[in-house]
Structure 1
């Protein structure tokens, strides 16, 4: 077949940067897709009690409707990331959207919990692709120094999806003529719109080389993570935390994880390039992403329960009351992105962001059912602001230190760890919440001289139908238990802060350099010597408008 004439359309490459207008055109489709991915994780948070009741499902099913999506996102993210280093990123991002649409339609048609959980897993696979690929494509189009401003846009979309999901889900459930099935259909138009926009605007160069997918690694990491999350989901309910089942599952997960590491060291195209961990800053940033994920996903999951079960608010109202956290996340994410673009400095932003998250979590740990909403709003804003300064900038710090050919794997590694932290955090803290609620309800009813009955069984009651003083006791129990969850999340984020303090701040590149940062640069940073790359013109204050020289490759 004869080769088609060269299109006059702009096709970005490493030597010809895209204009701001062209980047925004592509971002419109990418951010729509990212919004869809986030929506899939958050839309059911306020609607889930109604969904589970309508399907006559158990408490275990309640947990797995959320966990299935997070699990699928977790295990598929590194696969998507590796594929993005081997084949067309445009094809992959469109495939992720199609998979999401199929999962959404199946979820809306579900008539039992098993089908719904399967559909949510399919949604998670598609959403995992969007989570990994959006950041990878942005890294391909935009130099690190300029990426801060566009990372701010991503933070804004994260905020919008995080707040829109609970609001949309709550509003749909509260609207009698819609029904909960539209919680899953509502994301389909956004996904279709993203497909159309990306087809028209996204034109990236594709490197032609043999595709080698590490299916052994994918299988092992899927099995290890799945076994770990299954253990967390059932421990404390079906069996004790310290039991033979725990020993078998945790031991099995460890064996599978070791087998995964061995397999990754031997394969030519590993899902997780283990040599990235030889760079201390990258290793620490990845660990911090894992720990920050606990706070990011737990915040939205448990705040909804706090307002509905501890304060008696409707699903829609509960979504509105979480606005301070989302406003903090969106506004501070945009501002911090602009600051990083102007200065090229990111470590101070990360340290401040994670510190604010710790403070916010500790303060939320003091909340009770009767706490003033003004105080709750302040606590939520601090958590949101902290996450806004840390989520995308952790990705940026890693992307800045890897070769361009490994941007996909590096970006996916950060997203993988963040989602893994969220999946494990939601499962573990959810188990803690259930245990604390039972304890506080039993204690309250005993003091009031009221028989515990079914309220001590761990099932979620419909608080509005309970008589006094039982209703007050249950609301107080949920308020105290959810606060305990936030308090338990704080130490994990504090450990993330410790990790970030030891990360070396490498000045952001202003071009798509193919080099990774060498260990020599990190040692120089230890001594207080700032080694700027050639494209920075010898000084941090070098104008971004000035043409940059292409620096020589440096390998760590």
Structure 2
């Protein structure tokens, strides 16, 4: 074979053949990550200008994550059945269309809908990049390349908040360009992949079956639960007919989805893989990492701007300790994993450091020293960098090449699900605590509640000075509380990592050594 990713009989990948398509894949990953991080510091300004609420603030992020989470298993299964190259190009196209729709949105509800559509493309990019790399490079060698992936993700995370702040504050650009900025990167990625990526089909077309019913059931069940989380204890009580009307059907749908997935020949979530102790524990640990990766940028960006009064550019700069932690730890850990062929020590260390970072951030209020904030941010970044990609590799190492797409998508699905649920839960807790704190603060100050314009209104510039100070303090104090919840959840990730059985990384692409033809 003469394609750029042809494998030798020994299972080794030609280095020159890997690097060319790898460049395109890294650009794709950069685009996907940038789409989330570039708006993190701009969101307070965006929602304020659209006169949105705290709930809508949360859903601008949650909508993308939910769509990405629900679609990731489908993309992964399609990658096992169809052309990975064509699929990644389709995903980029969907992502670009969603970006353009987001940029021209005229209201918060329109923006949420556009971000949901954009999430369909993000889900494809998340699943397909991991899958294509797994189809080109054996697990033993994949550690160093995962280090590159971690570095690119860190670069997007570092540059995204800062870039978003600069764009938002540039008069001739404005916040809408936060959604347009990824277009040139995606165009270059399309060109590079079109010219360099060539992968053989894994299965015969006659065996193609995609479980769209299972994907729809999972999406419906998860969506209903997240909608309930967003409104419970605010619009209605925990024990109410609304709770019963949402939670009951959601759980029934998810139970039916599990039953359905156990019976179909091509499930979007391969239960045979998920039930294995190793992948199951890796998935459980990835839930905590997902919460760290998504929740950190979303709520800390809001903390710096709303509570501490920094502008979007300054908020982006203040996030750098976390991003540098991801960059350094993922790169170093990837190199060490490739040399030693061992994963568990890196995953355990990463989850422990992650818990420490959350514990530090749980002490935040509106007057916390920036030195304390930076320490927590750095610990969270180091923990994410050491564990995130290694958890994916731990799952990929246990499955055959023909199932690597579904397996990679499974752990990406649960990591995104953790982030989605985390943002929804933490956002709901934040909104409720802010509302209670603002109400109490206004009462103590003798100011009418109507003067706040609604406790969830993020357009602080429109508030009178005394009310603005009360709102800032409320957001700052509530942020520490939500990271206390994150600390408790992250402990579950440590326990799961400790229970992982150490397994050496295989040196071949497939479970069985490839045979020479």
Work out whether the TM-score is over 0.5: yes
Q: Secondary structure at the match of 1:179?
A: coil
The structure whose Rg is larger is 1
Identify unmatched segments of 5+ residues in structure 2: none
Name the CA distance, whole Å, in 2 between partners of 1:438 and 1:122: 31
Aligned match of 2:288 = 291
Q: 1:142 to 1:388 in 2, by over 3 A?
A: same
1:137 aligns with one of 132, 136, 156: 132
Deviation for aligned residue 1:119:
1.7
1:392 aligns with one of 389, 392, 396: 389
1:42 aligns with one of 37, 42, 61: 37
Maintained 8 Å contact 1:44/1:169: yes
Q: 1:171 to 1:340 in 2, by over 3 A?
A: same
1:195 aligns with one of 190, 196, 200: 190
**After superposition, where does 1:503-542 map in structure 2 within 5 Å?**
503-515=500-512
Deviation for aligned residue 1:43:
2.2
Q: What per-residue deviation string (whole Å, max 9, x for no partner) do you get for residues 206-227 of structure 1?
A: 1341211111111111111111
Aligned match of 1:255 = 252
Aligned match of 2:119 = 124
**After superposition, where does 1:331-342 map in structure 2 within 5 Å?**
331-342=328-339
Structure with more relative contact order (C-alpha pairs < 8 Å, separation 6 or more) = 2
1:17 aligns with one of 12, 21, 45: 12
Q: Secondary structure at the match of 2:106?
A: coil
Q: 1:10 to 1:48 in 2, by over 3 A?
A: closer
**After superposition, where does 1:138-537 map in structure 2 within 5 Å?**
138-209=133-204, 210=206, 211-455=208-452, 457-463=454-460, 469-515=466-512
Name the CA distance, whole Å, in 1 between partners of 2:105 and 2:468: 33
Identify unmatched segments of 5+ residues in structure 1: 1-5, 516-548, 552-556
Deviation for aligned residue 1:113:
3.4
Deviation for aligned residue 1:468:
5.1
Q: What is the aligned length? A: 513
**After superposition, where does 1:106-117 map in structure 2 within 5 Å?**
106-117=101-112
Q: What per-residue deviation string (whole Å, max 9, x for no partner) do you get for residues 483-510 of structure 1?
A: 1111111111101111111111111111
Aligned match of 1:92 = 87
Q: What per-residue deviation string (whole Å, max 9, x for no partner) do you get for residues 362-408 of structure 1?
A: 11111222222122111110010001001111101111111111110
Q: 1:73 to 1:461 in 2, by over 3 A?
A: closer
Aligned match of 1:520 = none
Output the aligned Cα RMSD: 2.0
Name the CA distance, whole Å, in 2 between partners of 1:378 and 1:250: 39
Q: 1:332 to 1:59 in 2, by over 3 A?
A: closer
Name the CA distance, whole Å, in 1 between partners of 2:3 and 2:414: 41
Q: Secondary structure at the match of 1:266?
A: coil
Maintained 8 Å contact 2:286/2:411: yes
Q: Secondary structure at the match of 1:85?
A: helix
Maintained 8 Å contact 1:292/1:492: no
Q: Secondary structure at the match of 1:121?
A: helix
Q: Secondary structure at the match of 2:342?
A: coil
Q: 1:15 to 1:129 in 2, by over 3 A?
A: farther
Q: 1:153 to 1:442 in 2, by over 3 A?
A: same
Farther off after superposition, 322-331 or 210-219: 210-219
Q: What per-residue deviation string (whole Å, max 9, x for no partner) do you get for residues 468-493 of structure 1?
A: 55444332222111111111111111
TM-score, structure 2 length as denominator? 0.95
Deviation for aligned residue 1:449:
4.1
Name the CA distance, whole Å, in 1 between partners of 2:4 and 2:14: 13
TM-score, structure 1 length as denominator? 0.88
Name the CA distance, whole Å, in 1 between partners of 2:203 and 2:290: 35
Deviation for aligned residue 1:463:
4.1
Name the CA distance, whole Å, in 2 between partners of 1:162 and 1:344: 28
Maintained 8 Å contact 2:5/2:14: no
Name the CA distance, whole Å, in 2 between partners of 1:201 and 1:183: 29
Name the CA distance, whole Å, in 1 between partners of 2:189 and 2:359: 39
Deviation for aligned residue 1:59:
4.4
Name the CA distance, whole Å, in 2 between partners of 1:254 and 1:469: 45
Q: 1:147 to 1:394 in 2, by over 3 A?
A: same
Deviation for aligned residue 1:9:
5.0
